[in-house]
Chains A and B, each alone.
Chain A
Amino acid sequence: MAMTSRHDDDADNDLLEQLSEIMDRGESPTDAFLNRAPENRIAFDALTRFRAMAKNILDDDVASEPERDDSWVTGILSNIHREARAGRSIPVSHPSPKADLSLTEGAVRGLIRSAGDAVAGTFIGHCRLEGDVATPGSPVTVNVEASMFWGERMPQTAQQLREAITTSLLHHTELNIVAVNVTITDVHLRRNPKDEDRSAPNG
Chain B
Amino acid sequence: MERAPLGDAADSILAARAADGDLRAFEVLVRRHGPLMRAYATRILGSNSDSDDVVQETFITAWERLPELQDPAATKAWLMRITSRKAIDRIRARKQDQPLGEWDAPAPESESPHQRAEAASQRERLTRALGTLSEAQRQCWTLREIGGHSYAEIAEELDLPPSTVRGLLARARQKLMQEMEEWR
Contact = CB atoms under 8 A, between A and B. Distances in A.
A, B bound? yes
B39 A121 contact: no
A130 to B, nearest CB: 14
B180 A73 contact: no
A80 B40 CA distance: 22
B122 A54 contact: no
Contact of B21 (A85, A124, A199): A85
A61 B4 contact: no
A145 to B, nearest CB: 6
A16 B11 CA distance: 37
Contact of A54 (B8, B13, B39, B126): B126
A113 B35 contact: no
Interface stretch (A90-98, A131-139, A169-177, A184-192): A184-192
Contacts, number: 185
A192 B150 CA distance: 37
Contacts of B40: 58
Given A58-B39, A197-B2, A12 B8 contact: no
Given A75-B56, A80-B23, A59 B36 contact: yes
B7 interface: yes
B42 interface: yes
Interface size range on A against B? 35 or more
Contacts of A72: 34, 52, 55-56
Interface string B108-136: 00000000000001110011000000000
A3 B4 CA distance: 57
Interface of B: 1-10, 12-13, 16-17, 19-23, 26-27, 30-31, 34-36, 38-40, 42-43, 52, 55-56, 59-60, 63-64, 72, 121-123, 126-127, 145-146, 150, 166, 169-171, 173-174, 176-178, 180-181
Interface of A: 1, 3-4, 9, 12-13, 16-17, 20, 24, 43, 46-47, 49-51, 53-62, 64-65, 72-73, 75-77, 79-82, 84-87, 106, 109-110, 113, 117-127, 145-147, 149, 185-186, 188-192, 195, 197, 199, 203
Given A76-B30, A77-B23, A126-B19, 18 more contacts: A50-B180, A57-B43, A57-B127, A72-B56, A76-B55, A76-B60, A77-B26, A80-B59, A84-B21, A117-B3, A117-B6, A120-B2, A120-B3, A123-B4, A123-B6, A123-B17, A124-B13, A192-B7
18 contacts: A13-B174, A20-B173, A49-B180, A54-B126, A57-B123, A62-B36, A72-B52, A72-B56, A80-B59, A81-B63, A86-B21, A87-B21, A118-B1, A123-B8, A147-B10, A188-B8, A195-B8, A199-B2
